[in-house]
Amino acid sequence: MGRKLSSFKGSTFSEKYQLQENIIGEGSFGTVISAKCRASQESRAIKAIRRIEKVNMLSIELELLSELGGHSNIVKLHDFFHFNGSVALVLEYFPHCSAAELIYHSKKDLSFALFYFRNLLSAVAYLHQNGYVHRDIKLSNFLFSSKTKRFRLVDFGLATVDRSHNECSRNHAVSTMEKDAECASCRNTASPCMFCRGKPKRENYHIVGTPGVRAPELLFGVGLCNPSIDIFSCGIVLLSLVCTKHPFFMPKDESENIMNLAFLLGSESIENMARKEGMRVTISEKLPPADYYHLLMSMRFGFEHVRRHCSPRLACQSCENRSFNNSYGVCFCRSNYDTGMFSTGNNENELLTIYVDLLYRTLEPDRIKRYNADQLLCIVESFESRINFKPKPLSNQDDI
């Protein structure tokens, strides 16, 4: 900690700000430290970056915050310092709940997840409308103040400019794949044969984001600068809140991350998605896609509750094997990803129905079909308008 702060001493920074030397949090490329503005005595958050490894990414973060900060739930940038190889971003200080407290709020109030998600979508939509992609959406990067009921999107260290229009077309990727005949030896197996291992590999790419909230295409090096990757991460955030489980997935490597997604989307859905992107992918374990209504009910209220009160289903060995504490084999799978997508049994809870709808739109395996932030906001706003609608009292007299 002392090494990070030593660069700031004896500079114009120390003339304007007094560091309090307690760490607020750790970002993608720096440490966030509390401070006070000497002139106004207002609290500030200092994002301290000791070594600048990627100047281009820092310039994007500064450009983004200078242009959009302070609007639509995006954290405000007050000042910027660069000296002795170190950088300090002076941001607004925003007291907030921890991820565990967010889960507690959602557990106590089912509607909290929709309140949180709506505000998250507002920030993400504003980012995307202005040509930026966050690339690290997660609970700890969208802050909530229980005192003011306000939100802030933070940590733009991985943010980039939307370059989806420059992507190689899917048709080109698929035609390239088809020119390279599929190997008969390793077809439909989880690992390539010795001959295929010796072939030139796909171009190198850097997987961005936090394990467990990444979109499936990211794991295959596709759509690295496409806004749709933020939408998938938003879906995992919503899933985590409604199921009151954080983190929802905690993979130790990319292979486990892919298997986690197969748990939700189904093995076949991921293989089909890869094929549309011009890749041949085979997942070793064949998993059916999850029915999000039964998954939400099981995770939030317990398997015993679902067994007793939800629509009866036959015991499922697959669901018993892939879930903890499901000795009854309560089934939360579907035979096909596209059929029965929104059928939720005899569900009378309209709020759970909208959560299921939003999850299918955000966690869509195919990034082209995935809804954007504006479309999702329309769904949320239309739901809120419907439940808040109060008809005028009937008059005893006919209108003239």
- CB of 279 within 8 A of CB of 177? yes
Please give the backbone phi and psi of residue 66, each rounded to the nearest 5 degrees, phi first: -65, -35
In angstroms, the CA 65 to CA 77 distance is 6
Binding-site positions for ATP: 47
Q: What share of the chain is helix, strand, coil (3-state, %, to 5)?
A: 40, 15, 45
In angstroms, the CA 42 to CA 40 distance is 5
Q: Where are the alpha helices (DSSP H) in the chain?
A: 2-6, 12-16, 55-68, 99-108, 112-129, 170-179, 194-197, 216-219, 228-243, 254-265, 267-276, 292-301, 303-309, 317-321, 350-362, 373-388
Residue 119 Cα distances to 112, 126, 156, 296, angstroms: 11, 11, 17, 21
Binding-site positions: 47
Amino acid at 185: S
- CB of 156 within 8 A of CB of 141? no
Residue 23, strand partner residues: 33
The helix/strand count (H/E) of the chain reads as 16, 9
* CA 19, chain centre distance (Å): 32
* CA 288, chain centre distance (Å): 22
